[in-house]
A and B are shown apart, each in its own frame.
Chain A
């Protein structure tokens, strides 16, 4: 991976595109880039040799992944007793990690699908790796229920496979709905990510000098030539996949929330769970997007493509979804009191004041208090405050699931059945190891695939629009608004 940032680039004053001026749209690609330099930058990452930092990160991630593999081996040979799960907290770390990782994936789908439908053109710089993040997060998520079934060699029983035993999954269980919801989500996300990548894979194919690379990129770029017909089909498919992926943003985490909310357990059974989980998922997902994007733009030299404005917008989305999460926490608490229901009230007081108050306190601080700094613009522009807020949310969203799962289960109705939950070293090792899985794939993605949607980002550049420049003519950003208008009106003003 070649170092892209040249001395010249470091010296030039960075344009501040975070200023909100209603009279014009901010530029989304800075640094005087044109189509060629964008392609050079992005393909350079995949074609060049990786910097030493990449190797260090990859070695670390791979060792964590190896540890995860070893722990899974230990789990399979010994049994789920190696975990801390036990009555009454029979759902411990595995379900917490599952919900945590599924949630992370949601930001990718939101960016690629919903922001696309909302014509939020700034998404073009971050959608590719956010989608990649989705795929890897769903892989981490799918792992945990898969290894939690007790007899993992029978995990295929989760699927409704016709069989001579006449045995079917329990269709009334939300855990089975999860299999369908997450399965659909993984499939559509993978398709969406791959379809969006085809033109860029073709670019890599054309630029690749290595024979095996040419074959691999050639295979996966599906014979893309960039003809008008290809583009037409591509745009149609992309729009349809965006529309299909949009309800999935809601459905997946709603179904995950049903795992809890259909029960009668106080703290789990509450009607706001579906939208609250969705908001929390996007919240956690955006925190992960920021966690990955902020270092990546420095290390990979992408500061002109993923600009301060992109990061600021991510911070705003994170703040907004965080406020929805705060709303849900407050309403849950209020209604627990308002219900006048003994068990409801107890469940919530026990969260805040019971033996797990440290977890609750961590959750409240990390999810509700810490990220409030993002109301201030300077905090959305300072790399340390941004990373502080994102790290808060990463931690806080994991603890949110911990609070929901553990505090509700450990003290339910009968005090005689109360007990504390303690994770074992295997629990903790697998949580850490799942980050190894995630980062190993993510780093491989950064090395071998186009990390930025080159074809899409070019559409938000002014060169794609109103002005045709003479070759060699310097681009003057004041000449026109840099706004993305991919779709000039094709109808007459009056109607159809």
Chain B
């Protein structure tokens, strides 16, 4: 019996994005820049000032960065596993990952906030922070004395009195009363005073800048390497050799990726509150990133297919993408639950206040049980339980309409997750949502998506030179 004929790409699979896409890309970038300027002006003119703009910007930057990082991870890991199912759809992930130079440009405003040195966004970036004696009563780094850290927030000062008293008797510590959190005054006021001196070598403006230059250069390098190498397979390179090159680089690349995404998550989000720490934080950020990237990948493929591109992407590919989307819904829930449960169960004041600020507290009558509490419930159901049930069935993952619905739903939830993580540092228990956040979403999103679309126009939309293309076109799910 003869071989099955090797499946081939259709002509339409080789179609490239044309002038329409280019003008869409540029329009998105222009709209994005205008939206960002509008958001900044709006914020400056009263709606929270530049501080609010900064938080809204970090929130949206983290959101879009996470999606690009997730895509980079998809590319890296599928090379390690010599996966063939992914070949037909990998180019889109490659483009999303190769968008890193745009994300590097988008990082500049955050860098400016840090370098300004007033600690508006990152309290540790304040110039006053540089001088340990400024705070007066702090232990110096050399003494290695315990820093007992308590939360004091203006609206809740009374309620937290009990906590502080409890700490006062504990240990031989110098006290650092941290007025992080809730009110804006806390950010500007005593916060600059209250440092955890041990972190000073890590949380400095110059080291932060150096780290981010390293991260962004590394991610850009990896993203562009995989896109360029994969494109070179189509333009006559030795296909097998180029694939091997990518596979070999993917292993150390993943290692570097894991470390950089972790520290980037610490720097970008966790250090908004220089006191709080969680070893799980990098994994938490990663879990959401992967989910966001799969959801984006699904929607990008469907959008392209609407315009007649990549017709060879079949229900099998969507089925697999849907399974992985489901996997990371579950994985995010597992990580988020573990992080929450362990902090809640041990109930240590230096970490549990982070959840209190986000509306999760069992303290009766706490002023924090308010808007953010509702958001936390929305996350539990909307980010985990409902999509878990929704994506469970096979036919849903194979139905384009339903899969698109869940991808959009989860992208919204991914944003809500970042919102719930970032914005309580700006204000809690008050929930901040308004035109500034929306304009920043449009702004960062416009530039990021516009950049990705422009990047996508420069090569074919399917990694047509991959030696495993045939397998990718012909496999099927059970």
Residues of A within 8 A of B (CB): 20-23, 118-119, 235, 239, 247, 250, 254, 258, 261-264, 269-275, 320, 323, 327-328, 330-332, 335, 337-343, 345, 375, 466-468, 480, 483, 485-491, 493-496
> A275 vs B171: C-alpha distance in the bound complex, in angstroms?
32
Neighbouring A residues of B315 by C-beta, 8 Å = 491, 494-496
> A258 vs B337: C-alpha distance in the bound complex, in angstroms?
12
Neighbouring B residues of A495 by C-beta, 8 Å = 314-315, 398, 400
> A24 vs B468: C-alpha distance in the bound complex, in angstroms?
8
- Provided the pairs A23-B467, A264-B346 are in contact, do residues A345 and B144 lie with their beta carbons within 8 angstroms? yes
Q: Which of B239, B255, B342, B477 contacts A22 (CB 8 A)?
A: B239
Task: Say how far A324's CB is from chain B's closest CB, in angstroms.
Answer: 8
4 shortest A-B CB distances, which residue pairs? A489-B476, A342-B146, A272-B279, A340-B198
CB of A258 within 8 A of CB of B342, answer: yes
CB of A496 within 8 A of CB of B145, answer: no
Task: Say how far B243's CB is from chain A's closest CB, in angstroms.
Answer: 4
> A487 vs B315: C-alpha distance in the bound complex, in angstroms?
14
Name 22 A/B residue pairs within 8 A (Cβ), A-sorted. Answer: A22-B239, A22-B240, A22-B243, A23-B239, A118-B81, A250-B334, A254-B338, A258-B341, A262-B345, A269-B342, A272-B279, A275-B283, A331-B282, A337-B198, A338-B199, A338-B266, A338-B277, A341-B350, A342-B171, A485-B474, A491-B398, A495-B398
Q: Which of B3, B247, B334, B335 contacts A480 (CB 8 A)?
A: B3
CB of B147 within 8 A of CB of A488, answer: no
Highest count of chain B CB atoms <10 Å: which of A118, A335, A486? A335
Q: Which of B82, B251, B476 contacts A488 (CB 8 A)?
A: B476
> A20 vs B401: C-alpha distance in the bound complex, in angstroms?
39
> A340 vs B196: C-alpha distance in the bound complex, in angstroms?
6
- Provided the pairs A21-B240, A271-B279, A491-B315 are in contact, do residues A342 and B145 lie with their beta carbons within 8 angstroms? yes
CB of A340 within 8 A of CB of B342, answer: no
CB of B258 within 8 A of CB of A22, answer: no
Mask for B137-149, Cβ within 8 A of A = 1, else 0? 0000000111101
CB of A272 within 8 A of CB of B334, answer: no
Q: Which of B171, B339, B348 contacts A269 (CB 8 A)?
A: B348
> A361 vs B425: C-alpha distance in the bound complex, in angstroms?
41
Considering only residues 179-217 of chain B, those with a C-beta below 8 Å from chain A are 196-199, 202
CB of B171 within 8 A of CB of A340, answer: no
CB of B1 within 8 A of CB of A262, answer: no
Neighbouring B residues of A271 by C-beta, 8 Å = 278-281, 338-339, 342-343
Considering only residues 446-478 of chain B, those with a C-beta below 8 Å from chain A are 466-468, 471, 474-478
Mask for B251-289, Cβ within 8 A of A = 1, else 0? 100010011001000100000000001111111000000
> Taking the complex as formed, is B415 at the interface, i.e. its CB lies under 8 A from any CB of chain A?
no
CB of A274 within 8 A of CB of B240, answer: no
Task: Say how far B15's CB is from chain A's closest CB, in angstroms.
Answer: 18
Task: Say how far A379's CB is from chain B's closest CB, in angstroms.
Answer: 14
CB of A342 within 8 A of CB of B239, answer: no
> A247 vs B334: C-alpha distance in the bound complex, in angstroms?
10
Task: Say how far B313's CB is from chain A's closest CB, in angstroms.
Answer: 10
Q: Which of B251, B466, B475 contacts A489 (CB 8 A)?
A: B475
Task: Say how far B469's CB is from chain A's closest CB, in angstroms.
Answer: 10
Neighbouring A residues of B82 by C-beta, 8 Å = 20, 22
Neighbouring B residues of A486 by C-beta, 8 Å = 478
Task: Say how far A458's CB is from chain B's closest CB, in angstroms.
Answer: 17
Mask for B54-83, Cβ within 8 A of A = 1, else 0? 000000000000000000000000001110
> Taking the complex as formed, is B167 at the interface, i.e. its CB lies under 8 A from any CB of chain A?
no
> Taking the complex as formed, is B330 at the interface, i.e. its CB lies under 8 A from any CB of chain A?
yes
> A264 vs B474: C-alpha distance in the bound complex, in angstroms?
53
> A314 vs B197: C-alpha distance in the bound complex, in angstroms?
45
Q: Which of A274, A340, A345, A493 contacts B338 (CB 8 A)?
A: A274
Q: Which of B199, B279, B312 contacts A331 (CB 8 A)?
A: B279
Neighbouring B residues of A335 by C-beta, 8 Å = 277-279
> A493 vs B339: C-alpha distance in the bound complex, in angstroms?
42
Q: Which of B251, B281, B398 contacts A496 (CB 8 A)?
A: B398
